[in-house]
Structure 1
């Protein structure tokens, strides 16, 4: 018999759902619960991903395989015990619900082929978990001849890169226990709070899989050995070629991030806005039903040539979410570059036919009154 709590089963099911993309509560994916001297593990695998969630030990050593849907029925938010055992080729789960005994009988399932744990697991900083989660938002769900749904993990310089063909995120300085560049699908499980909040972080690889361990959770991503990755190094803008640099204050960054989703035109294709970069930086937007609205970033600065360009507001918002405050532009048609320490983010602007010129009767909203801005600057 294996004993788990309802809360442990809830956590395991949540991780399995997100990692393996299990949409239906009635999904019959086999889930293996194994009690050994090292502890109890809950694990399952798909073609591209696998997850193992380890828990403290169990008095009896046993392995039971049951359908994912069964976990949905007996999970909960309390620490009430759930006893799992087999009887007459059936899996039996027993627990109490508000003092009333509950029992489920289900067919024993055959275990899925589960990837082996790498012999070498290299420790890495917790920032690896952060960029893995960020990469899930950067990659494209629609794959093509380029592996745009994958992250590239390059061991020679410890670099992780992700792109959807319009934006790219790169960070170096990690310690991968291999030299080559490996492509792995960006796993939705990387964004699970149970995965992000754990330490230490270790990773390794087998012939076909990369395994990333965060505390009791280990996620495997199958290595894509067929497709190619875009030449990120070649297309990354150079800081030295920038002619204009916009630098936001913390106040203006917070103000801008909050305002971007409320500016007119957010429902339009590519959610366009105009960056008007001069002495006082201005963000400009309009729509068919709303007049031109301008955000005046009173505390921020522009250095270099005056420039106007059109961009997708979602990428600007993401850059702020990633912690960037400086934006470098070579010209209105070149990618917008953000770089800080070992992290780089850049994206392509929109066609410049969408640039909005100033209008006399536009609605203007200041990030801070001029007097307050002057006081803060002093």
Structure 2
């Protein structure tokens, strides 16, 4: 999940991953210019802290549930584990600690459905920008989430965001992770430069893109209240439809009927 958050495709990436062990558990941190992520693993154990490249985790990745032990000796971290019963060892230089964004103080609790909406928006957005930032999703002050790839659009409203302007954030694939979709508690907030999402034991920071332009998606999505359809019917069929309209599915209907000879025109909305 860390590699997906940082949009890393190579298992040998030198991107730094921070580990901090306390009596309450282990905290993992990572970031790049547009995404930062923190994950807390509850538990008990020895205290300590170090930063190693992401490639170090790939080196000791196994097929089973073998325990990997990390210990620090001066400026080197030594990883020890077993692969098929055979002891393995890897040494990695300690890296500088990545500076994480500040925790957003003012957040609001959100419906967990927000994560599903963000995932759908990411699936709609493009991977690359054009003259518009279609590789971003827009979080509007009115509670709407918008995304587009230039061919299709996604609009989801009904959320409560604690900011007063529309914000553009990267459409990171990490927002589609199943681990985030099942959290019981979710909170969101924003600082001057970051939108922070707290999802259970995960914390995400999404860098606000203040310079890019986003398409006016809502101008291409008709207002359902303004949508009308004109249907031409014979008089007898028109009268039958009027009587049957109240029993049709789809909620309330409004009709505008203009009687003509020979056909009638019915405008529905």
With structure 1 as the length reference, what TM-score do the two structures score? 0.57
* Corresponding residue to 2:126 among 130, 134, 140: 140
Structure-2 separation of matches of 1:31 and 1:186: 22
* Corresponding residue to 1:120 among 98, 102, 106: 106
**Deviation of the 1:38 alpha carbon:** 4.4
**Residue matched to 1:165:** 150
Structure-2 separation of matches of 1:244 and 1:170: 26
User: Larger relative contact order (C-alpha < 8 A, sep ≥ 6)?
Assistant: 2
Structure 1 spans left out of the alignment, 5+ residues: 1-14, 246-302, 304-324, 326-378
**Deviation of the 1:97 alpha carbon:** 2.7
Structure-2 separation of matches of 1:64 and 1:20: 19
Q: Which moved more, 1:118-127 or 1:184-193?
A: 118-127
Say whether residues 1:224 and 2:209 are aligned partners: yes
Kindly provide the CA deviation profile for residues 249-292 of structure 1, in whole angstroms up to 9, marking residues without a partner as x. xxxxxxxxxxxxxxxxxxxxxxxxxxxxxxxxxxxxxxxxxxxx
Say whether residues 1:174 and 2:156 are aligned partners: no
Say whether residues 1:87 and 2:73 are aligned partners: yes
Residues 120 and 39 of structure 1: CA distance in aligned 2, closer, same or farther (over 3 Å): farther
**Residue matched to 1:16:** 2
Q: Are the equivalent residues in 1 in contact too, given 2:25–2:45 (CA < 8 A)?
A: no
Q: Secondary structure at the match of 1:241?
A: coil
Say whether residues 1:52 and 2:38 are aligned partners: yes
Kindly provide the CA deviation profile for residues 127-185 of structure 1, in whole angstroms up to 9, marking residues without a partner as x. 11111111112112221332211111112x21111112221111111121212111101
Q: Are the equivalent residues in 2 in contact too, given 1:64–1:85 (CA < 8 A)?
A: no
**Deviation of the 1:109 alpha carbon:** 1.0
Aligned length: 232
Q: CA RMSD in A?
A: 2.2
**Residue matched to 2:176:** 191
Structure-2 separation of matches of 1:77 and 1:104: 17
With structure 2 as the length reference, what TM-score do the two structures score? 0.79
Say whether residues 1:201 and 2:156 are aligned partners: no
**Residue matched to 1:335:** none
Residues 204 and 90 of structure 1: CA distance in aligned 2, closer, same or farther (over 3 Å): same
